């Protein structure tokens, strides 16, 4: 496999074309952003940790029958993935009130929800990734109702698998964001699953082990990411 020219660069990753048709190389960066890019910084070893954490989670999900874009780890900071036509709908699953949900509905942060809440956001940097519903998705032509049902069902399956797995690692899965894409006639899970895209809390102390440490200037961000990696690989 030969790494060729860069195809795309985002806030946290670079994507490269390879010499194998339909396969891309994703490189994870140490760059960190928050609040729609208004806050920027660097987290030491973030690229390496997010890549390795995502690899472990993608392998776990594949073992449970959930199809993803992941093919194999290539280096400490790179993975080989299947090409996807990204659907511009981010799917967020929430198990515990935190972040924007707690503010939006006036619920105290840390309140366990009686059932998972599924939300959709329009993947648009220019608009600040606004909250949308199925009617908006239809009007914008982002996905068909059938595709949205697949994405919702898959997100809830991912939630079940990750919650069960992380319970044994003394980690609460508070909430997480997923992205999906079309690969031929299939809808595959893409992007990453890491402390950048999930809220992880220590089950005993509720200590934040995720990007909220960067957002809220709590310090020891790398240490929190490294702690997640240490626990899930054990």
| Residue-wise DSSP of 106-145 | TPPTTPEEEEEEEEEEE--GGGT--EE-HHHHHHHTS--H
Tens of pLDDT, residue by residue over 187-234, are 999 999 999 999 999 999 999 999 999 999 999 999 999 999 999 998
What token pair was written down for 46? 């973030």
Backbone dihedral angles phi then psi of residue 164, each to the nearest 5 degrees: -60, -45
Backbone dihedral angles phi then psi of residue 147, each to the nearest 5 degrees: -65, -40
* CA neighbor of 58 nearest in space, from 36, 37, 28, 80: 80
pLDDT of amino acid 38: 81
Instruction: Scan for tokens 């957002």, then name that residue.
Output: 215
Q: Please count the residues of the chain.
A: 234
Tens of pLDDT, residue by residue over 51-76, are 999 999 999 999 999 999 999 999 99
pLDDT of amino acid 35: 86
CB 110 within 8 A of CB 206: yes
Query: Is the predicted pLDDT of residue 96 greater than 90, yes or no?
Result: yes
Backbone dihedral angles phi then psi of residue 25, each to the nearest 5 degrees: -105, 125
Q: What is the mean pLDDT of the chain?
A: 96
User: In the predicted model, what is the mean pLDDT of residues 107-121?
Assistant: 98
What token pair was written down for 222? 């790398």
* CA neighbor of 175 nearest in space, from 146, 193, 198: 198
Go through the domains of the chain in sequence order and give each one's CATH number. Answer: 3-82 (3.30.200.20), 85-221 (3.30.470.20)
Tens of pLDDT, residue by residue over 124-183, are 999 999 999 999 999 999 999 999 999 999 999 999 999 999 999 999 999 999 999 999
What token pair was written down for 129? 């990734």
Backbone dihedral angles phi then psi of residue 201, each to the nearest 5 degrees: -120, 145
pTM value?
0.96
Query: Is the predicted pLDDT of residue 15 greater than 90, yes or no?
Result: yes
pLDDT of amino acid 36: 77
Query: Is the predicted pLDDT of residue 1 greater than 80, yes or no?
Result: no
pLDDT of amino acid 37: 77
Question: Which CA distances in Å does 140 have to 59, 133, 145, 150?
Answer: 33, 11, 12, 18
Backbone dihedral angles phi then psi of residue 226, each to the nearest 5 degrees: -65, -35
């Amino acid at each position: 496999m030969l790494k060729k020219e860069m195809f795309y660069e985002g806030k946290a990753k670079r994507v490269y074309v390879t010499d194998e048709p339909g396969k891309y190389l994703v490189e994870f960066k140490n760059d960190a952003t928050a609040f729609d890019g208004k806050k920027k910084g660097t987290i030491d070893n973030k690229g390496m940790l997010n890549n390795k954490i995502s690899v472990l989670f993608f392998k776990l999900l594949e073992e449970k029958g959930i199809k993803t874009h992941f093919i194999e780890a290539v280096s400490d900071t790179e993975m080989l993935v299947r090409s996807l036509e990204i659907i511009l709908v981010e799917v967020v699953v929430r198990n515990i009130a935190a972040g924007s949900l707690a503010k939006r509905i006036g619920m105290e942060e840390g309140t366990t929800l009686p059932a998972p809440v599924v939300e959709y956001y329009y993947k648009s940097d220019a608009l600040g990734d606004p909250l949308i519903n199925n009617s908006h998705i239809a009007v914008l032509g982002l996905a068909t109702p059938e595709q949205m049902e697949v994405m919702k069902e898959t997100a809830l399956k991912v939630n079940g698998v990750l919650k069960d797995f992380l319970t044994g690692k003394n980690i609460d899965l508070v909430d997480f964001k997923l992205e999906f894409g079309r690969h031929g006639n299939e809808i595959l899970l893409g992007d990453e699953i890491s402390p950048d895209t999930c809220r992880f809390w220590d089950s005993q102390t509720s200590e934040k082990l995720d990007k909220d440490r960067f957002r809220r200037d709590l310090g020891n961000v790398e240490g929190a990411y490294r702690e997640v990696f240490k626990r899930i690989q054990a």
